[in-house]
Amino acid sequence: MKIFYSLIIFSILNNINCQLLPPLPAPNLTFIDQSLALIFPIIQNFKNTITLDPFGVTKTWTGPDICNYKGFYCDNPPNNSSAISLASIDFNGFQLSAPTLDGFIDQLPDLAIFHANTNNFSGIISSKISNLPYLYELDLSNNQFIGTFPMSILNIKTLTFLDIRYNLLTGIIPPQIFVQYLDAFFLNNNNFIQKLPDNIGSTPAYYLTLANNKFVGPIPRSIGQAPNLLEILFLNNLLTGCIPYELGLLKKAIVIDVGFNTLTGPLPRSLGCLESVEQLNFAGNLLYGQVPEVICSLKNLVNFTLSYNYFTKVGPLCRELIDNGVLNVEKNCINGLPNQRSILECVLFRMQIKLCPLQKSLRIIPCNISNFSPHRPLRPERHLISYSALSKHTKLY
């Protein structure tokens, strides 16, 4: 009987060991570089954790030719131009399912790019990814990651592109991320709940998409200090307060979208200094007053959306934009224009108007507007990266 139980225990322990220990390379496999031999068992172990592979991608992950596995790309590592290593992984659209990436990408020492949009990877984002010395693009968008913002990302000094949109992340965004040297930062469509950090204007990013979260409080005045911003989306959050005068200092900005929050007050005239802007969206807020003519004179405007607010007046330049289909003022309180709010709605709103704390700053125009012209040539809308980020299946880079 003792022998019988011993055999059972031995069998159980043997099965456990087989599950925990990564597979070893077969003795007869020949790799073109020793670094590839070292990561072979890591890839095979990850392959064994995949529970769904609808396109049969992992069928190509066999044998020693890792550089020809589907989704895997090799190159010379920065520290050895004569070596060959795994430099990049692109799983975009593969729809692979796995309970975690922990123990996979963090064990690939030469990895520089990891893209995994539209898969079903879950769990938390491993803290060990900060150990990757060359990682500069990380795309984990449209997956099922949970937990708080992965603080380990702050320790990846080489990172320039971060895309974590369309996950189940919650909590707060650490202020330090806005001093990290990111060119693009996409975190829309999560569940982040906090006031926007006061140092948001320290970001060197060109693209910043914060849309479809639960950010609260005002837009920080530091936003005007951001040196490179081309596109910024605050769309569909819970932001309150007045639009800061400093937003008009973003002279390089092409897209500014603060639609569908609960911002109030008049539009600051400083927005007339946005000489590069093509897309301005303030729809779905509690804005009021006259639409400043100086904004309607911006020569590059393609789309200026003020619908679902409480504006009461537009001048001749703005009326010209309405006629040309550039300016949308539907569902406001402007006499003589179609598709406006009811008189009762407008009266009730006027009874509860509150002035902005820095009301005088809203009248300042901090630029020379003599070169601006209301007579703009028609121009097609360009492809805008930040708006593409609102589509969960879109590969951005």
Give SS3 for 256. strand
Cross-strand bridge partners of residue 281: 257, 305
Longest Cα–Cα distance in the chain: 99
- pLDDT by residue (tens digit) across 104-156? 999 999 999 999 999 999 999 989 999 999 999 999 999 999 999 999 999 99
pLDDT at 27: 54
Q: What amino acid is encoded at 301 in this protein?
A: L
For tokens 């020793």, what's the residue?
34
pLDDT at 165: 98
Handedness of CA 103, 108, 109, 111 (dihedral sign): negative
Cα 281 from Cα 395, distance rounded (Å): 24
pLDDT at 288: 98
Angstrom distances, CA of residue 310 to CA of 282, 343, 348, 395: 11, 11, 11, 37
Percent of the chain with pLDDT over 90: 83
Q: ∠ at Cα 178 (175, 179), nearest 5°?
A: 105
pLDDT at 354: 86
pLDDT at 392: 87
- pLDDT by residue (tens digit) across 224-233? 999 999 999 9
DSSP per-residue codes, 122-148:
EEPPPGGGGG-TT--EEE--SSEEEEE
The class that CATH gives domain 30-169 is alpha beta
Q: Are 373 and 300 in contact (CB under 8 A)?
A: no
List of residues 6+ apart from 222 with CB closer than 8 A: 198, 199, 200, 201, 202, 246
pLDDT at 235: 98
Cα 140 from Cα 151, distance rounded (Å): 15
Cα 107 from Cα 98, distance rounded (Å): 16
Domain boundaries, given as residue ranges, for the chain: 30-169
pLDDT means over runs of 10, the chain (397 residues): 40 38 61 95 97 98 97 94 95 98 96 97 93 96 96 95 97 96 97 97 98 98 97 98 97 98 97 96 98 96 97 97 97 97 97 90 86 57 86 82
Give SS3 for 168. strand
Token representation of residue 381: 């809308």
pLDDT at 381: 64
**CB neighbours (10 Å) of residue 19?**
7
Phi-psi region of 341 (alpha: psi -120 to 50; beta: other; left: phi over 0): beta
Q: What does DSSP say about strands 72-75 and 85-90: parallel, antiparallel, or unpaired? A: antiparallel
Cα 183 from Cα 84, distance rounded (Å): 28
Cα 286 from Cα 281, distance rounded (Å): 13
Q: Taking Cα atoms as reference points, which of 395, 393, 386 lies closest to residue 211?
A: 386
Radius of gyration of the chain (CA): 27
Q: Are 33 and 81 in contact (CB under 8 A)?
A: no
What's the DSSP call for residue 224? G
pLDDT at 382: 76
Q: What does DSSP say about strands 207-209 and 191-192: parallel, antiparallel, or unpaired? A: unpaired
Torsions phi, psi of 47, nearest 5? Answer: -55, -40
What's the DSSP call for residue 242? B
**CB neighbours (10 Å) of residue 387?**
19
Cα 119 from Cα 97, distance rounded (Å): 6
